Chains A and B, each alone.
Chain A
Amino acid sequence: MFKDFEHLIRLAAVMVGALILFVAIRAAVVPRSFGQYGHYRGAAIGEIAARPIAFAGHDVCEVCHTDVVEQKKLGKHVVLSCEACHGAQAKHADDPASVKPPKLDTAVVCARCHEANSAKPKSFPQVVTAEHSGGIACDTCHQPHRPKIGSDAAAKETSTKPSTEAKK
């Protein structure tokens, strides 16, 4: 036993103390889920997944608006989802009574897709709206859910109300 041995003991005690302090601080500041799946906070996945949705999805729309579904089936617009034109409607789907979707201006909405552009595929139906209609609303002649003129002569105007309500 060499002299001043107790100095080493003290040094060791300080180091052990520092180590305990480090482990304690690390345990406090590193989130519990860090490293669950990899070098990131595992709980972040659940937090990101918990964000509310804005677009309800066409399956939800079709539960109530069955008359529109029938109309669409008869025309080329059957492939369109409702919210492609009508916009995000999750709030309307949650509370159909108080949140009403805005009325669409067909002169704007239809032109988004059907305005002629040389970069669009040739097979896609396109018009130069200024020449085709002179800026009047497309639904003056075309029924948006079933756009081909003449095909809907006998078909009744599509109601904007859910079929359940329209029947009353």
Chain B
Amino acid sequence: MDHILMNTLRVNLQGRAYDILVGPDLLRRTGELIRGLGIGRRLGLVTHPALAETHGYAPLVVSSLRESGHEVRVVTVPPGEESKSLDQAACLCRELVRVGLDRGSALLALGGGVIGDLTGFVAATLFRGIAFLNLPTTLLAQVDSSVGGKTGVNLPEGKNLVGTFYQPRLVVADVLTLRTLPAREFRSGLAEVVKHAMIADAELFRTLEEDADQILARDPSALQAIIGRNCAIKAKVVEADEHEAGVRAVLNFGHTVGHAVEAAFGYGTVTHGEAVAYGMLVATSLSVRRGLCPAADAKRLEALLRRFELLPTASPEPELLETYIIRDKKVRDGVLQFVLTLGIGSVTLAPVSDRKDLREALHGVQA
């Protein structure tokens, strides 16, 4: 029965294909699911205290792995973006060495994007790279950060400045873990879902509009369906452009402004989803201004984001945002690269050389 319920999505990346498994109650089957991957006996599991204690997900994973004959060392890191630091990565590396991990060991991440990015980075660099398994427990991580192999930590100068591209050996997305997610964090993940629909799937966008209630009620089958679709969209983009040389940049839709919003408000004040939602509105408004996108589509986007309660109540200062945008790493030879939309389900990469357009769009989206 379980097997019918589980979706398997294969991501094909040169010589490093791996599966994303999506379904309910998969964590207690972790041991069985990783069998056949040639994973070493000794494993490290990185998670945060709440997942280990309050929700009991870590014990579930650990006992399943032990039943399969693995030795598991659990290491916890505090929740929150602050943990995505070089210091935390260093502590983790040192602790994993001290508890006896070696080149043949594997590292599992159980948690959200922070845990996944941090653990992925450690797996990519410890002993010059050991096997990495990702068990995302937040919507954002399940639909976004667990696909594509981006790992990284932040510097005081900016987010994700340090990192690697490193593909996991397996991703297990257990949709039941989403039930315990705080409401705001769950909605934050929906922003990436909307983003994927905007980028590549007008039908998914309609599904989101129509099934908004079930989704917000976290109905497992509704979630499984949209998570599967999302991973497929992201995987397709990543396959086409593993190292972000071109096409993959479309995934940054809403992110150029989104990162600036996060930075302007201070990390943690707004959720990533709220920031991206705001960024998508700015990018769409810019697209409408340039005559690329029908105004009606902009309205539908705004309505859906409002339905998912993703629009911030206060807007950041446009001038401040502009400063942060210019600092963004996607600036190429001084010209700002923006992902603009051609209407729901389609995007394009375009240079924004005229700052006036951007300024007007930023002012236009004020709450």
- A, B assembled together: no
Question: A: which residues have CB within 8 A of B?
Answer: none
Chain B residues engaging chain A, CB cutoff 8 angstroms: none
